[in-house]
Amino acid sequence: MSVLRVGNASGFYGDRFDALREMLTGGELDVVTGDYLAELTMLILGRDRLKDPAAGYARTFLRQLEECLGLAHERGVRIVANAGGLNPAGLADAVRELADRIGIPVRVAHVEGDDVGPRWPGSLTAHAYLGGFGIAACLREGADVVVTGRVTDAALVTGPAAAHFGWRPREYDRLAGAVVAGHVLECGTQATGGNYAFFADGGAGRDLRRPGFPLAEIHEDGSCVITKHPGTGGFVDVGTVTAQLLYETGGARYAGPDVTARLDTVRLTQDGPDRVRIDGVRGEAPPPALKVGRTRLGGFRNEVVFVLTGLDIEAKAALVREQMTDALAKSPPAQVRWELVRTDRPDADTEETAGALLRLVVRDPEQAVVGRALSGAAVELALASYPGFHLLAPPGKGSPYGVFEASSVPQGDVEHVAVLHDGRRLTVPAPPADGTRPLEAAPEPGLPEPLPPGPVRRAPLGLVAGARSGDKGGDANLGVWARTDEAWRWLAHELTTDRLRELLPECRTLTVTRHVLPRLRALNFVVEGVLGEGVAARHRFDPQAKALGEWLRSRCLDIPEALL
């Protein structure tokens, strides 16, 4: 059968608005997808729904369709997006109303069944991650637009591929290939040079001012080529694809509702300018349970940042900490976190570069404890504390924060339904018991031969290794890869979990698991608990661990001179 061209036009709720038009007008395409849902987004949509029960979906998607639905219809491009969020049926109705108003005859379907909130009383949202076969059912029955709630990011690609090629549930290798393609596409321009460790290398065709969005040319056997429309910015090479493959994954087994993809079987090959072939992907039966993402309101949060300037930074910080502790003693917040960020320089030639930041973050179930009490205590010190006292910004009244928690539910306990454009409801059966496999860690692969001893030089890790990091609830994922076989021979032996803890002291007391992926010349680390209760709780300076990998790359260690 013909190649299926699947493009991406959104990696998150708030991504480039014009991307949908760019993908529809920039070149050949069969399906355009949009990923709008992250862990934080579900919390935001949950709070929207508290104010308006008819809300709960990504309104940006509707505005994009107002511009682009006619274009997609003219070009025969189908649209698949998880913009339905908490209310896919509501979004499907809104798309139909829009299509009627602008006179575009499109068939709109949606997927539901992911909402498992009744199982977890007290949750703001609780949604199971569904697979791609509900999307496939909608497309097979003629839908032009399919909107979903919480499906896996890769399902936006596996669904169209299964519909186009006629794949069935047990065709694991084909499905796994599509899962890998979907994972590369789902974060948009992160596959085309965005957020890329070696962005400064330069070179022809690497204009990163406005990277084009990626697309996958998927073949019937599940292999694909990752590319982008001609003439768009950014670039696609083995490095950009490797970086995205490592993003927010863990071990060699990447589990999903339809298949468990073996990331240790992925083979990447440069197939020409801005073309990377992915093949060799093997798949296994999916696990018997679906992942469930739950959010709840955790309480209230407030923050005050004190600016400390010039001399005696440590003493100034100690004084204001003692003063604030005394002031809050009558009703102390449940959680108090201090962090001194030494941005100051000696003998600085500007006042800003002579300053350090002392950050106080408090959390409590009661807003008053983190609101008026904290703000009043900080402001009252204005004339009674360290010399040069001032705040980065006036303290606020405190705001609610959310908590993300992962759980699971048996696949058979979730009713996965494709609601077709004509109103028919097709139930998507769960895998039978003999069609699932409990998730286990893959066998540890052998390491390459270490480099022979030789002269070394103290230098940043980032000179020889790339990294990309991100969040999964309260944990962080940190993928590190080498660009040459020689660098891999060194990295695989040098960057152990103990060495990672040494380089990143924040991780010293935390559980760190290392996964080895030799075909990608990569190590993938999972750091448990470094993000506290997740991104919405804003536990640390970088609440989604987006820059954890860049911090690691900036750390110095003894690197063989042959690699430098």
Cβ within 8 Å of residue 403, ≥6 positions away: 295, 296, 297, 298, 533, 534, 536, 537
In 103-253, alpha helices (H): 133-140, 155-165, 172-185, 238-246
pLDDT at res. 473: 84
State the virtual CA torsion across 130, 292, 15, 74 in degrees, nearest 10. Answer: 10
Among 554, 551, 399, 540, residue whose Cα is nearest residue 471:
540
pLDDT for 126 beyond 80: yes
Domains in the chain: boundaries: 4-293+406-435, 296-403, 456-563
CA atoms within 13 A on the CB side of 132: 32
| Encoded tokens for 268 | 């990447």
Among 558, 491, 552, residue whose Cα is nearest residue 527:
552
pLDDT for 539 beyond 70: no
pLDDT, tens digit (0-9, with 9 covering 90-100), for 136-195? 999 999 999 999 999 999 999 999 999 999 999 999 999 999 999 999 999 999 999 999
Query: Distance (Å, rounded) from C-alpha 318 to C-alpha 94?
Result: 56
Cβ within 8 Å of residue 286, ≥6 positions away: 131, 255, 256, 257, 258, 259, 260, 411, 431, 435, 436, 437
Higher-confidence residue of 231 and 372: namely 231
pLDDT at res. 536: 65
What 3-state class would DSSP assign to 253?
strand
- Chain centre to alpha carbon of residue 241: 15
pLDDT for 542 beyond 90: no
What 3-state class would DSSP assign to 151?
strand
pLDDT at res. 205: 64
CA atoms within 13 A on the CB side of 310: 6
Query: Distance (Å, rounded) from C-alpha 477 to C-alpha 448?
Result: 23
| Encoded tokens for 99 | 């299509």
- List C-alpha distances in Å: 411 to 147, 170, 226, 426, 430: 21, 15, 31, 17, 6
Average pLDDT over residues 228-244: 97
| Encoded tokens for 434 | 């003999």
- Strand 282-284 and strand 425-428: the pairing is unpaired
Q: What is the pTM of this model?
A: 0.94
- Chain centre to alpha carbon of residue 287: 22
DSSP E strand boundaries for 321-464: 335-341, 355-364, 390-391, 399-410, 416-419, 425-428, 456-460
pLDDT for 327 beyond 80: yes
Residue 79 is given by DSSP the state E
CB 83, CB 58: distance < 8 Å: yes
Mean pLDDT value across the chain: 95
Q: What is the CATH number of domain 296-403?
A: 3.30.70
Least confident of 70-74, 85-89, 438-442, 486-490: 438-442
pLDDT, tens digit (0-9, with 9 covering 90-100), for 45-69? 998 999 999 999 999 999 999 999 9
Position 451, amino acid: L
Bridge partners (DSSP) listed for residue 538: none
pLDDT, tens digit (0-9, with 9 covering 90-100), for 426-470? 999 999 888 899 999 999 999 999 999 999 999 999 999 999 999
Angle at which helices 133-140 and 155-165 cross, to 10°: 40
pLDDT for 204 beyond 70: no
Least confident of 91-95, 101-105, 533-537: 533-537
- Chain centre to alpha carbon of residue 463: 25
